[in-house]
Structure 1
Amino acid sequence: MPEPERNPVSDEIEGCYMGVARMRRYSEGIPLPLSLIEIEQYLQRHPTVIDRDEFDAGIYAIDEIVLQHFKEKMSE
């Protein structure tokens, strides 16, 4: 599968995801989906010019992929 085209907005959201994910909460060792709380805490320290709806959607989309990967690893 060819690599998707990169753009500055998706690159920034991807980079920010790592910071937001560091604030992830866990329940009994299982990662919980990121919430607005973690995103807002991150943005208080690291503001962005990206539209907030687009930023949130990007963070949630990446998080969904990461959590799906975690679930697959746990079921092996």
Structure 2
Amino acid sequence: MAEKLILPTEVKVCATCSYWDGERQVDAEMKVVVVSHECEGECLVQEASKPGLHDIRCECDCMWEDLEPDAADSAAEPRAAE
């Protein structure tokens, strides 16, 4: 059985990025991500396989984006004129 890690959504690793396509569970209420220790996934920005626990702070071409939806931004957008 693989060890599970619980990460706050603001921790800047691949598993907490909205552009990482790997196996994870997200608890929106607690704002945590649960992944296995050896999880792998694809970075949709770099089109490369990345481990979920990859620290992205040293990545120059990373576009890490929080898993939180931008609810305030979408509500503030003006509607198109009809």
TM-score normalized by structure 2? 0.27
Greater per-residue strand proportion: 2
Greater per-residue helix proportion: 1
Larger radius of gyration: 2
